[in-house]
Amino acid sequence: MNPKSRNSRREMSKALSRVANASVSETLEEQKSIPINNLYRIGVTGAPGAGKSTLISHLASKRVQRDRKIGVIAIDPTSPVSKGSLLGDRIRMETVSDNPNIFIRSIPSRRAHDGLADNTADILWSMEDKNFDEVIVETVGVGQAEYSIRSLVDTVVLVLLPESGDAIQAMKAGILEMADIYVVNKSDLPGAEQMAGDIAVTAARKSGVKEEWIPKVIQTSNNNIDSFRALDEAIESHRIWRSEKVNRDEERRARILYQVQGLIGRRIEELIEVLTDSDLDKTPKEIYEILIENLSKFPK
């Protein structure tokens, strides 16, 4: 089951694949006890092409300077037609790709449409005991990804572009309430200053409560490596704020609920895939009952 390799990195990498490829029942069998939460989880989300991967590359190189071991889970979409994927995030992470303290794994979104992969929660769960200090998750660039990533990570970084209208769009979608840190990336392009100002005003608005975290707004650019230091520092202050203010029990319960919802969703998909033509000739109620009956058995 766990073949020993003389290369510990290869062994860890293979163990991660086993989790990534596991069926629902295999996953459930593996998750025997609740791991101690060691891993600091950073989620990076934002529209396609906003610069998430490039930013993670810069951020990871800052985080390792804090003497931490960093895992990166980079999610790209599965093609709905072929079920294959082109996992292209890593190309933007070349400069940190062979740093011994940074491990990057590209994964396909598979059946999920919420910006994550359908097994992200299980992958993060398994990373708790693999000697990482932090994990950075890059979501697929789709709308609403903010909501799901929020349930799984400690610090949510939303990457925006300095194009006019983007701030309004973000306000409309309500995503300006989801993130802990707003990054106006590509700030070498015009409009960044204005955009950052708009967001800062909007974000500060919610700080009616004293105990609340006031989201930080940061401008970054690939042309100015130093700009990522401010992002690194903002994450650090959020981390410290959280360690004092956040109710870990409540959070753990919310996470495990998201995880179980994901497992049930995947199990339903597994059961749908094995429905026969004659099952599908029945009424919705009958098909529903078949599914519910099969769902109630422990997956084999």
Partner 1 sequence: MALLGKRILIAKPGLDGHDVGAKIIALALRDAGADVIYTGLRKSPLYIARVAVDEDVDAIGLSILSGSHKEIVVQTLECLNELDASDIKIFVGGTIPRDDYEGLIAAGVRGVFTA
**In the complex, which residues of this chain contact partner 1 (CB under 8 A)?**
5-7, 9-10, 13-14, 16-17, 21, 79, 81-88, 90-91, 94, 97-98, 103-108
Whether residue 300 contacts residue 25, with contact meaning beta carbons closer than 8 Å, is answered with: yes
Sign of torsion over alpha carbons 196, 201, 206, 210: positive
The DSSP 8-state label assigned to residue 178 in this structure reads: T
Kindly tell me which of 89 and 146 has the beta carbon lying closer to Mg ion.
89
Q: Fill in the per-residue mask, 34 to 73: x = in contact with ligand GTP (CB under 6 A), - = not in contact.
A: ------------x-xxxxxxx-------------------
Smallest distance, partner 1 to C-beta of residue 75, A: 11
Residue 156 dihedral angles phi and psi, to the nearest 5°:
-100, 125
How many CB atoms sit inside 10 A of residue 231's CB? 23
Q: Using CB under 5 A, pick the residue from 89, 134, 154, 180 that binds Mg ion.
A: 89
Tell me the site size for ligand GTP, rule CB under 6 A.
17
Q: Using CB under 6 A, pick the residue from 19, 89, 182, 203 that binds ligand GTP.
A: 89
Q: Using CB under 5 A, pick the residue from 27, 45, 53, 155 that binds Mg ion.
A: 53
Q: What is the DSSP string of 120-140?
A: HHHHHHHHTTTT-SEEEEEPP
Smallest distance, Mg ion to C-beta of residue 30, A: 29
Contacts with ligand GTP in 157-216 (CB under 6 A)?
A: 185-186, 188-189
Asked whether position 148 contacts ligand GTP by CB under 6 A, the answer is no
Asked whether position 109 contacts Mg ion by CB under 5 A, the answer is no
Smallest distance, partner 1 to C-beta of residue 84, A: 4
Q: What is the DSSP string of 242-288?
A: HHHH--HHHHHHHHHHHHHHHHHHHHHHHHHHT--HHHHTS-HHHHH
Pairing outcome for strands 70-76 and 216-219? unpaired
Sheet holding 40-46, edge to edge: 102-108, 70-76, 134-138, 40-46, 155-160, 181-184, 216-219
What does the binding site for ligand GTP look like in residue numbers (CB under 6 A)? Answer: 46, 48-54, 89, 92, 141, 185-186, 188-189, 221-222
